[in-house]
Structure 1
Amino acid sequence: MGTSEAVKSDGIFYFSENHTAMKLKRRSFVKWVSLSPALAMPAFACSRPEKQDSKSTSKPVQPLNLSIEPISRDERLARLAKAQQLMQEQKIDALFLEPGTSMKYFLDFDFFLSERMVAAVIPAKGDIAYICPRFEQDKVEELVKFGNKVLTWNEHQSPYALTAKLLRDLGTPNQKVAIEERCRFFLYDGIKNETSRINFVNGDGVTAGCRMYKSPAEIALMQAANTATLEAYKILFNSLEEGMTQYDFRDIASEAHSKLGFRGSIGANFGEWSAFPHGSSKIQKLKPGDIVLADGGCTVEGYQSDISRTIVFGDYNDRQKEVWEVVKEAQSAAFELAKQAGATCEQMDAAARSVIDKAGFGPDYKYFSHRLGHGIGMDGHEWTNLVRGNSTPLQAGMCFSNEPGIYIVGEFGVRLEDCFYMTENGPQYFTQPSPAIDKPFA
């Protein structure tokens, strides 16, 4: 396959493949993704501009036909068994969940949140029970896939008293009940006021103890999500046009994901605003020579991707290249460290930070202002983090982002992010890192 080049003429960038030029206007691109069954997408590389005269040829991009297998019932039963084992080991009598990621993870149950309690209790031993308003009983029973006990309350009654009675009936010999960490305070407080003898603890020891270690089926879904987002990036970077805003960028990213068959989003910041790690709310208009720092992902069967790329719109300068290459070296150093047996989360952060400090962009958090990475799975950010003070050893099944950055306020920022997972033989990337500032895709 031939290389592509970015060529500027009359305020429009041309992208060429095999020396055939393509003029890509944003309005045309959005019209394609809205109306056509396939997108025209040439291969992309950030090359130095050269004049091209011939007309373009383009390749249609069909929805990605990835092999996607949802999480099986047997796998969820294994998750429940592990959760009960962890509860018994930690002398926890039950785990209280309300709708959210952990409830979906264990029970494949999803429901909207409101001021009315809808919840599940997974006991260390015994059958799962659900609590809901009586008028929601039929709907809840439709959604229940594990267990068959649904307890209900009418509007004048207390769901907290009902939950307390359930816990008494289940038995709490250890007088300890775990509350999932994202459970809203008023639910915990209401139950606690009805059960003075029970000690409530954070449920992370159970939920994170399961969710932090991904199965092969989960890894496969995350790989699909990362593959889809990387393809969306390729389409997106071919749509860059002078004068576009970060909101134009985001809209095209969503459309690109959609046409590939997924729901996803990628945001960006241009020029000096790329020095804000999570961006600025100010309207930004892309101009030649701007850094483009993009970050986003999509969801496949509930599992997330997260990828950042930093490129230059048009010609890069020596300063941009210098900073980009330091960040690249930091990302590589952290990944190499992860290959060492017994490496810990904080050691990965230290490896990347050391590279950046030695290059003169220290000390410490001065320009690399955040941790190296976060856990990822069903939530875009979950347990555990690659950060100082976290001595957790890297273990098979763990998944992380590797995303060092340098942010120089008033100039620009650079971040490179690729997610990886741990195997028995070391780390493996979901997406291959960018080789160079003018080559965002390996």
Structure 2
Amino acid sequence: MGVDAAVPDLQVTRERLRRLREQAAARDVAACVVTPGSDLRYLVGVGGSSFERLTSLVVPSDDALPMRFVSPALEFAGLGHIPFDELGVEVRTWVDGEDAAGLAVEGLPGGRLAVSDMTPALHTLALGGRHGGELTLAGPVVRELRMRKDPAELAELRRAGEAIDRVHARVHEWLRPGRTEADVAADIAAAIVEEGHTVAEFVIVGSGPNGASPHHSVSDRVIERGDVVVVDIGGPVPSGYNSDSTRTYAVGEPAEADVVRSYDALQAAQQAAVDVVRPGVTCEQVDQAARAVLNDAGLGERFIHRTGHGIGLDVHEEPYIVAGNDLALEAGMTFSVEPGVYLAGRWGARIEDIVAVTDDGVESLNVRPHDLVVL
């Protein structure tokens, strides 16, 4: 089975489809072809993944042309409850051997055809060949909708943040000397589900020198007394909206002499970045706020990644909090603020909260203390 679905809110869905047409027209796109993934889930509540059979939502920019949902007949049986008629979306099903790409683009005007960013080449090339126009990415069109969360989306992200905070509050139950990172990660993954997520999307337990690798996962390294341990965890709640939060722990007093001073600077850097968040501030200004504190502390070269990433139906999405991104923040944008310091071969630390831009400032969706937690 390639796709699944939840019943969408009709008013919200109609507005999202209207805005998609508007954004496509503004970007000189003749039509968007949205295939399974987070964009399709955002637009009409259809989740799942792309396989060799093409499923697509076709949205012309010209509102005089009908929208179209193209689905293998064998999969549409599971989507019959989606009110496509009420949304003004034609349904075209197909069976093996028929030209699905041709069904998708039939009757579309020439010009630029925008295809979902993660569409398999198998489908992208077929769509381009049948349409004949220039192919482009749909991501820049859809992100203009998805970057600004509505109240219902913000509520789900708060729910996800509260759930992952409850897991961090329990880390002391599992993190102790003599256990491996993998042992601890297994307990954390179970707790992520127990506390309200559908699945543990990722669990990073980086102890001692492994904490100096920002995307270390887990290993069979045995945790030792004196280790600094980075715990970065998250996953989706039933609505599909994600959590992502990092806290740094010490198993007893840190063995490395520079941990306390460096961690104090990291904590100040994370807070400085959160403090500047408000409408009108650019993404790169938030990044610079964190980086400036670490530069002043002589740790700038130890901060080796961007300050944050947007979050919603994807763990990583727009906006990205990084140097060179002059996008101005707006109310409803949600993203991580997660500076880190990494001393190769020795130890590392990171502090991460998800924040939401409000009308006049910022709301943190994670409220666990930022102090180095000594267990």
TM-score, scaled relative to structure 1 = 0.77
Distance 1:404 1:111, change over 3 A: closer
Amino acid corresponding to residue 118 of structure 1 in structure 2: T
Given candidates 181, 206, 229, the residue that maps to 2:164 is 229
Is the 1:141–1:150 contact (alpha carbons within 8 Å) kept by the matching residues of 2?
Answer: no
User: Is this contact kept in 1: 2:204–2:215, CA < 8 A?
Assistant: no
Structure 1 residue runs without a partner (length 5+): 1-69
2:58 corresponds to 1:110: no
Tell me, yes or no, if the aligned pair for 2:52 and 2:122 is still in contact at 8 Å: no
Residue 252 of structure 2: which of 303, 311, 314 is its match?
314
How far residue 71 of structure 1 moved from its aligned partner, in angstroms, is 6.7
Give the Cα–Cα distance (whole angstroms) in 2 for the partners of residues 316 and 76 of structure 1. Answer: 52
1:187 positional shift:
1.2
Residue in structure 2 matched with residue 185 of structure 1 by the alignment: 121
Residue 204 of structure 1 is matched in structure 2 by: 139
Q: Does 1:381 align with 2:321?
A: no
Q: 2:196 aligns with which of 245, 261, 278?
A: 261
Contact 1:177 1:199 survives alignment (8 Å): yes
Is residue 302–residue 343 contact of structure 2 (8 Å, CA) maintained in 1?
yes
For the structure 1 residues 154 and 438, does the alpha-carbon distance in structure 2 shift closer, same or farther, using more than 3 Å as the test? Answer: closer
Q: CA deviation at 1:201?
A: 2.0
Query: Can you list the C-alpha shifts for 1:189-217, whole angstroms capped at 9, x where unaligned?
Result: 11111222x22222123210100000111
Mapping of 1:42-441 within 5 angstroms?
72-124=9-61, 125=63, 126-143=65-82, 145=84, 146-147=87-88, 149-165=90-106, 168=107, 171-172=108-109, 175-196=111-132, 198-265=133-200, 266-279=203-216, 282-300=219-237, 301-316=239-254, 318-339=257-278, 342-362=280-300, 366-432=301-367, 434-438=369-373
CA distance in 1, matches of 2:36, 2:83: 12
Asked whether the equivalents of residues 185 and 218 of structure 2 are also in contact (C-alpha less than 8 Å), the reply is no
The amino acid across from 1:185 in the alignment is A
Give the Å deviation of 1:378. Answer: 0.8
Q: 1:295 to 1:104 in 2, by over 3 A?
A: same
The answer to whether the 8 Å contact 1:273/1:412 transfers is yes
Q: Which amino acid in the other structure matches residue 159 of structure 1?
A: A
The 2-side partners of 1:353 and 1:347 are apart by: 10
Which structure 2 residue ranges, 5 or more long, are not aligned? Answer: 1-6
Deviation at 1:240, TM superposition (A): 2.0
- TM-score calculated relative to the size of structure 2: 0.90
Whose Rg is larger?
Answer: 1
Given the superposition, is the C-alpha separation of residues 227 and 357 from structure 1 closer, same or farther in structure 2, using an over 3 Å criterion? Answer: same
**Residue-pair matches, total:** 361
- Secondary structure of 2:153's counterpart equals helix
Output the amino acid matched with 1:154. V
Paired with 1:162 and 1:71, the residues of 2 have a C-alpha distance of 25
Q: Which moved more, 1:152-161 or 1:424-433?
A: 152-161
Question: Does structure 1 conserve the Cα–Cα contact (< 8 Å) formed by 2:181 and 2:219?
Answer: no
Percent identity between matched residues is 28
Q: How far apart are the structure 1 equivalents of 2:326 and 2:31?
A: 28
Rounded to whole Å, the distance in 1 between the matches of 2:24 and 2:123 is: 21
Task: Classify the secondary structure of the residue corresponding to 1:79.
Answer: helix
Conservation of the 8 A alpha-carbon contact between 1:86 and 1:205:
no
Q: CA deviation at 1:96?
A: 0.3
| Cα distance in 2, alignment partners of residues 243 and 355 from structure 1 | 36
What do the CA deviations read for 1:298-339 (whole angstroms, capped 9, x no partner)?
A: 322110111000010112354211111111111111122224
- Cα separation, 1, equivalents of 2:371 and 2:80: 54
Q: 1:116-144: per-residue Cα shift (whole Å, max 9, x none)? A: 11111122214321222344443344556
**Per the alignment, do residues 270 and 72 of structure 1 end up closer, same or farther by CA in structure 2, a change over 3 Å counting?**
same
Change in 2 beyond 3 A, CA 1:71/1:405: farther
CA distance 1:163–1:434, shift in 2 (3 Å): same
CA contact (8 A) 2:228 2:251 kept: yes
- Root-mean-square deviation (Å): 2.1
Cα gap change, 1:228/1:134 in structure 2, threshold over 3 Å: closer, same or farther? closer
**1:137/1:204 Cα in 2 relative to 1: closer, same or farther (>3 Å)?**
closer
> Structure 1 residue 393: deviation in Å?
0.7
Q: Secondary structure of 1:139's match?
A: coil
1:226–1:298: 8 Å Cα contact kept in structure 2?
no
Question: Retained in 2: the 8 A contact 1:346–1:388?
Answer: yes
Would the aligned equivalents of 1:232 and 1:253 in 2 still touch at CA under 8 Å? yes
Check whether the contact 2:273–2:289 (CA below 8 A) recurs between aligned residues.
yes
C-alpha deviations, 1:159-190, integer Å up to 9, x for none? 2222232xx2xx42x62222122222221211
Which structure 2 residues correspond to residues 11-22 of structure 1 after superposition, within 5 A? none
SS at match of 2:174: coil
Contact 2:340 2:350 in 1 (8 A): yes
Larger mean CA deviation between 95-104 and 76-85 belongs to 76-85
Change in Cα spacing, 1:152 to 1:72, as seen in structure 2 (3 Å) is closer
Deviation per CA, 1:376-424, whole angstroms, max 9, x where unpaired? 1110000110111110011111111000000001110010000101011
CA distance in 2, matches of 1:194, 1:123: 16
Supply the AA of the counterpart residue of 1:212.
M
